[in-house]
Amino acid sequence: MFMMKLLVLLLFSVFITGCRGNSSYSLTPKLLLVSFDGFRADYLQKYEFPHLQNFIKEGVLVENVKNVFITKTFPNHYSIVTGLYEESHGIVANSMYDAVTKKHFSDSNDKDPFWWNEAVPIWVTNQLQENRTSAAAMWPGTDVPIHNTTPSYFMNYNSSVSFAERLNNITLWLSNSNPPVTFATLYWEEPDASGHKYGPEDKENMRTVLKEIDKHIGDLVHKLKMLGLWENLNVIITSDHGMTQCSKDRLINLDRCIDHSDYTLIDLTPVAAILPKRNRTEVYNKLKICSPQMTVYLKEDIPARFYYQHNDRIQPIILVAEEGWTIVLNKSLSKCDHGYDNSLPSMHPFLAAHGPAFHKGYKHSTINSVDIYPMMCHILGLKPRPNNGTFGNTKCLLVDQWCINLLEAIGIVISALLVLTTLTCLIIIMKNRLSVPHPFSRLQLQDDDDDPLIG
Ligand SMILES: *[C@@H]1O[C@H](CO)[C@@H](O)[C@H](O)[C@H]1NC(C)=O
Ligand SMILES: *[C@@H]1O[C@H](CO)[C@@H](O)[C@H](O)[C@H]1NC(C)=O
Ligand SMILES: [Zn+2]
């Protein structure tokens, strides 16, 4: 096995060296990035997905993708397409407030480029390349002129547009445009909406919606095949985050601890963003003793592992609820949610991919959602902008990368040593054979040896 790998490595490097200089790719690589919102990683084990499993059988699966904190939709979708943590791309919540400009951001008021311009998403970088365009079917931010650029083809966000229409239009754009669409995105609101409504443990209702999603994936593959796009297109199917089971009696009521007039509530649950009106310490002290199921952080004390501190849009105090708990005001309703600590497995989505750039039938345990961006740039041949992802984490998924783990590396070193030792031994044996006394050769040798001495 190790010997095989070694041999393959040798042949591969010979091949690569031999090919350099030739234009080995005649086709411009193309990529379609699909997100099914709130597709928790373990749905794949707990429910049946015949179409998605077929897709994976001929492609790759990453069972667990570690998303970024806070585990919300807009921030996580922006991390996938920028490779940046939230503090670095600036979309730090679904609800934000900027104290300097007094601007507000929410999922229904998201079109001001001000919020998005702290980063450059991959569809903008792709648009700036000669002879390439991007297309989008409702991925968050794609209907906003970020750095004065939208995808050449996009839809204004409208949740009532059906999956079929989004799919029809995005595949049409992928097949019929000039210059060609080389990067496209497709976004769908489920299973997030049903997860919020029923909770991820409601088997019956979740089975219904997940079956529908699998059908959408079947339709997607079918459509790409019909249009002759399937063979050359790289398709990534992933999601922004997971979902946590809720319970009506796991509520943290802020109104029991602090008066409304003391603070402005920028975002509520399960990570609340608090802007104190007067005395920050006083507000902090009241909240700190509010509930044992809620951690209260002053901005400067937010743990480094969240990468959630260095941005003006992160408020002076944040409250983080324990998994499954909901922060409420007296009047607010509770429903199941996501947003929690991103180290919780229930928050993680998955990733599946298929196409000429990817291996066939390969399973990988985990990557970070910020690693997806450098991988996509590699596939498209784009120079990645500075980001927080690690390309090396995705190398095993890609056919043009050499990927070995530590054990294999040790194996290869040992086999290389064995090969060298064997060769050395062979050479020594051969030499000994040659110098074995032989009547004629001896005579000749003696002749040769003696001549100079005599001369
Ligand atoms: C999809 O394409 C059709 C036909 O070109 C167009 O009429 C429709 O408005 C498009 N849908 C969206 C949501 O852009
Ligand atoms: C993330 O990447 C950005 C851009 O390179 C950089 O400014 C920032 O410091 C990085 N964050 C971390 C935690 O390394
Ligand atoms: Zn959601």
The string of pLDDT tens digits covering residues 355-389 is 999 999 999 999 999 999 999 999 999 999 999 99
Q: What is this structure's pTM?
A: 0.87
**Which protein residue's CA is at the shortest distance from atom 12 of ligand 1?**
155
All residues with CB under 5 Å from ion ligand 3: 192
How far apart are the CA of 367 and the centre of ligand 3, in A? 22
The CATH number corresponding to 25-243+341-397 among 3.40.720.10, 3.30.300.30, 3.40.50.80, 3.40.50.300 equals 3.40.720.10
Q: pLDDT digit string (tens) for 126-156?
A: 999 988 999 999 999 999 999 999 999 999 9
Residue 302's contacts (CB-CB under 8 Å, 6 or more residues apart) are 308, 309, 314, 318
343-368 burial by CB neighbour count: b if 16+ within 10 A, else e?
A: ebebbbbbbbbbbebbbeebebeebb
Ligand 1 atom with least separation from CA of 158: 13
138, 152, 165, best to mutate for ligand 1 pocket (most atoms within 8 Å of CB): 165
Q: Are 93 and 70 in contact (CB under 8 A)?
A: yes
pLDDT-wise least confident of 5-19, 25-39, 44-58, 389-403: 5-19
Give distance in angstroms: CA of 196 to centre of ligand 3.
Answer: 7
Q: Is 79 in the pocket of ligand 2 (CB under 6 A)?
A: no
Tell me which residues are annotated as active site.
Answer: 73
String of DSSP letters for 258-273: S-GGGEEEEE-SSEEE
Residue 24 has pLDDT above 80, yes or no: no
4-13, 31-40, 386-395: least confident range: 4-13
pLDDT tens profile 266-307: 999 999 999 999 999 999 999 999 999 999 999 999 999 999
**Atom 7 of ligand 1 has which residue's CA nearest to it?**
169
Assess whether the C-beta atom of 165 lies below 6 angstroms from ligand 1: yes
Closest CA to 118 of 95, 139, 92: 92
- Identify the bridge partners of residue 36 per DSSP, sorted by sequence position: 188
The domain segmentation of the chain, as residue ranges, is 25-243+341-397, 251-328
Type and span of the H or E element at 417: helix 406-434
Residues 6+ apart with CB under 8 A from 385: 82, 83, 119, 120, 125
According to the model, what pLDDT value does residue 297 have? 98
247 and 323 Cβ atoms separated by less than 8 Å: no
Architecture of domain 251-328: 2-Layer Sandwich (3.30)
Distance (Å) from CA 207 to ligand 3 centroid: 18
Distances (CA, A) of 76 to 82, 205, 242, 343: 10, 25, 11, 14
Please tell me the predicted confidence (pLDDT) of residue 118: 98
Q: Whose CA is nearest to atom 9 of ligand 2?
A: 88
